[in-house]
Amino acid sequence: MDRPELPLPQLHAFVVLAEELHFGHAAARLGIAQPPLSQQIRRLEEKVGHPLFRREPGRVTLTPAGHELLPAARRALGDLADALAAARAVGAGRAGRLRIGFAASLALTVLPRLLRDFRQRFPAVHLDIREMTTTPQIAALHDGSLDIGLLREPDDTDPELAFRTVLTEPFVAVLPSAHPLAAQRTVRPAQLAGSPFVLLPREAGPLLHDRITGLCTAAGFTPHVVQHAVEWQTVCALVETGLGVSLAPAGIRRMRLKGVAFRGVGPGTARTRVAVAWRKGDENPLVTHLLETVSGPVRESPHRRTPASSR
């Protein structure tokens, strides 16, 4: 059996009359005349199949059917009001869900400040944060499963995505603390020519991988890679075991592993770029708000002092 549809204007009129128990007062509260109010109540009673009010001279009371309907009618109107408020908040970009991908090393640099600033402005927005390397982020932006990406060395020629630089930083040499080069303040890439390397696989971030191997090529050698690792934390952990050395963005110095030394790479001004990425033409107001929160470009000094605990 089909359930009768209960139009919301009729429910609203019913609830107001149930609270006032007076047609004149209820009509005034609704801003309508008494005949239209009576028509609304009559139509609702026809849908229910039973009277909702007893109409007596100078007195209006609820019937048992009216008493039964009243709590549900109030809930329905309340749910609608909540839904409308939520829809308005989402439409205005004050609420909703924003899916953000980020490269793991950015949890030590860009990400904390960005999330803190955004949450201060939009505390009702649910942030879905996903740790991903550059290539999966690009794929997720294309298929719509991410709204924003924070990644290294993006391909600016991608026709479907837009990019904004938020950080540039130099490279550092990542060495076991017992490595002879750890005694130096800076390391020239050519000095790493005889060492085995631990690097991210190229498919995880092709342009970043090429930037790192390009430093070696410019120094006259091809790095001998003995182990790949997808995350920089794993790269550093493998370096700590003595498996090899690496070249990495300077932000990973904040990992502060006791058995790892981070040394500046010089001479030169080679830097790696971090960008926020989003789909061109995305009309999600939360994306716009996050881009407004992003400041940039920011440069990290190549001469920042390495913490004692990571020497």
pLDDT one-digit tens code per residue, 79-89: 887 677 666 76
**Confidence category of residue 309, pLDDT binned at 50, 70, 90:** very low
Residue 305 has pLDDT above 50, yes or no: no
Distance CA 204, CA 300 (A): 24
Instruction: Please measure the distance between the N-terminal and C-terminal CA atoms of the chain and give it in whole angstroms.
Output: 77
Residue 256 has pLDDT above 60, yes or no: yes
Beta strands in the chain (DSSP E): 53-56, 59-62, 96-102, 125-131, 148-152, 161-176, 186-187, 196-199, 224-228, 246-249, 260-265, 271-279
58 or 125, higher pLDDT: 125
Distance CA 292, CA 126 (A): 17
Residue 17 has pLDDT above 70, yes or no: yes
Q: What structural domains and CATH numbers belong to the chain?
A: 8-91 (1.10.10.10), 96-165+273-293 (3.40.190.10), 166-272+305-310 (3.40.190.290)
**Confidence category of residue 231, pLDDT binned at 50, 70, 90:** confident
**Confidence category of residue 306, pLDDT binned at 50, 70, 90:** very low
Q: Residue 255 has what pLDDT?
A: 81
Is 115 in a helix, a strand, or coil?
A: helix
Q: How many CA atoms lie within 13 A of 39 on its CB side?
A: 5
Q: Residue 284 has what pLDDT?
A: 87
Strands 260-265 vs 53-56: parallel, antiparallel or unpaired: unpaired
Strand partners, 173: 247, 263
For residues 191-212, average pLDDT: 93
pLDDT per position as a tens digit, 278-302: 999 998 888 988 998 886 444 443 4
Q: Residue 92 has what pLDDT?
A: 65
Four-residue CA torsion sign, 127, 128, 133, 139? negative
% the chain with pLDDT above 90:
48
Assess contact for 101 and 149: CB atoms under 8 A. Answer: yes
Closest listed residue to residue 62, CA positions, set 93, 23, 98, 17: 17
Distance CA 297, CA 290 (A): 15
Residue 107: CB atoms within 10 Å: 17
| pLDDT, mean over the chain | 86
Residue 303 has pLDDT above 80, yes or no: no
% the chain with pLDDT above 70:
88
309 or 116, higher pLDDT: 116
For residues 22-46, average pLDDT: 91
Q: Which among 95-109, 170-184, 288-302 has the top mean pLDDT?
A: 170-184
Helix axes 8-20, 64-91, angle to 10 degrees: 120
Give the H or E element holding residue 8. Answer: helix 8-20
For residues 188-202, average pLDDT: 94
